[in-house]
């Protein structure tokens, strides 16, 4: 399994917070074994020390400024210059940044008025540059990844995008592209059926086009598909399609048992992993290699669940 390239806030790895502390995040720690990462602390990178006086985002004349209240320093231009230059150099598959940070918070950086009253929340300065530069890769802060559903979708995306990055880099024929698309077909069905169909037509009918052009279009559509907001019904529809490969070869009682388990999943009484293991067991029983090769069955290392 390809290791995704992930941008991480350095405070998950080093004691570089404004108060000299390290952020102990269980998920980020477990993830390190399975990824290649680039670590960054924007505040240290623009010359602020460890520890350092806090900085904040101040709204003045409808403009955001990055201020260090204790010194009166306006760090806006310095942070913007660093952030924009830094993100341009990146080739990454996903991002995890520190929640609530005025530089790294993706959704939760606090905004203040000049009288120090809070005035909403949003992305910090560095996070804003990341969001603007990367339209379709997953960008999260660690607190949101405590949510099981968000964490699952984040992992699905970073490992699929990493696989695509490495595979498309070395593809030399349309056959190789079709093989990649075939492995990800049910992943794409779960993500976005309309784009799945577009990609199927692209790989089947573009053989007279220069391969480089087709790969560029494929990459953009693949990223858009994975960026789709997911619903539980997407899993149910995908699993029902996979089950169709076996149902006629099973006894009536076996089919009824599977449908009962699917009902329990719909009612949130069992988790997705059990259903995926059942599908995998059926694929092994009936020697259905097409299903066994699907990334949807194991989109990322199980140790990260």
pLDDT of residue 167: 95
**Using CA atoms, how far apart are residues 227 and 192, in angstroms rounded to an integer?**
9
Helix (H) or strand (E) holding 7: strand 5-9
6 token code pair: 């992930």
Q: Could you tell me if 15 and 50 are in contact, meaning their C-beta atoms sit under 8 angstroms apart? A: yes
- As a whole number of angstroms, the distance between CA 261 and CA 49 comes to 56
pLDDT at 305 (0 to 100)? 84
**pTM for this predicted structure:** 0.94
How much of the chain exceeds pLDDT 90, in percent? 93
DSSP 136: S
- 127-136, 148-157, 208-217, 271-280: which range is least confident on average? 208-217
Question: 195 burial class (0-12, 13-18, 19+ CB within 10 angstroms)?
Answer: buried
Q: Residue 171: its pLDDT value, please?
A: 93
Which 3 state secondary structure label does DSSP give 275? helix
Neighbours of 154 (CB within 10 A): 23
Q: Using one digit for the tens of pLDDT, what is the confidence trace for 28-75? A: 999 999 999 999 999 999 999 999 999 999 998 889 999 999 999 999
Residue 234 reports pLDDT greater than 80: yes
Per domain, the residue ranges of the chain are: 5-146, 147-305
Residues 6+ apart with CB under 8 A from 112: 56, 57, 58, 59, 118, 119
Reported as a pLDDT band with limits 50, 70 and 90, residue 115 is: confident
Cis peptide before 51 (omega within 30 of 0): yes
Query: Is the Cβ–Cβ distance between 252 and 288 less than 8 Å?
Result: no
In tens, the pLDDT along 186-228 reads 999 999 999 999 999 999 887 778 999 999 999 999 999 999 9
Mean pLDDT, the chain, as a whole number?
95
Q: What is the mean pLDDT of residues 129-138?
A: 97
Distance of alpha carbon 75 from alpha carbon 42, whole angstroms: 11
Phi-psi region of 63 (alpha: psi -120 to 50; beta: other; left: phi over 0): beta
């Amino acid at each position: 399994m390809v290791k995704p390239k992930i941008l991480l806030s350095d405070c998950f790895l080093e004691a570089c917070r404004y108060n000299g502390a390290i952020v102990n995040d269980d998920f980020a720690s477990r993830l390190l074994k399975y990824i290649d990462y680039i670590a960054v602390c924007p505040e240290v990178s623009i010359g602020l020390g460890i520890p350092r006086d806090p900085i904040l985002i101040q709204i003045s004349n409808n403009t955001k400024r990055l201020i260090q209240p204790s010194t009166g320093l306006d760090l806006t231009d310095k942070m913007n210059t660093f952030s924009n230059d830094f993100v341009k150099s990146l080739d990454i598959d996903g991002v995890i940044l520190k929640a609530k940070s005025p530089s790294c918070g993706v959704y939760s950086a606090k905004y203040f008025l000049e009288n120090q009253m809070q005035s909403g929340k949003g992305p910090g300065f560095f996070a804003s540059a990341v969001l603007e530069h990367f339209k379709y890769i997953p960008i999260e802060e660690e607190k949101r990844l405590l949510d099981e559903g968000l964490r699952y979708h984040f992992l699905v995306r970073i490992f699929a995008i990493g696989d695509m990055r490495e595979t498309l880099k070395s593809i030399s024929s349309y056959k190789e592209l079709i093989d990649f698309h075939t492995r990800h077909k049910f992943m794409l069905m779960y993500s976005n059926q309309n784009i799945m169909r577009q990609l199927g037509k692209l790989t089947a009918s573009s053989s007279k086009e220069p391969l480089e052009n087709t790969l560029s279009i494929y990459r953009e559509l693949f990223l858009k598909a994975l960026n789709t907001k997911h619903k539980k019904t997407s899993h149910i529809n995908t699993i029902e399609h996979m089950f169709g490969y076996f149902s006629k070869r099973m006894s009536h009682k076996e089919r009824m048992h599977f449908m009962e388990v699917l009902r329990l999943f719909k009612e949130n009484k069992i988790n997705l992993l059990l259903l995926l293991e059942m599908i995998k067991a059926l694929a092994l029983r009936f020697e259905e290699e097409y299903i066994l090769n699907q990334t949807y069955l194991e989109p990322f290392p199980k140790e990260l669940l």
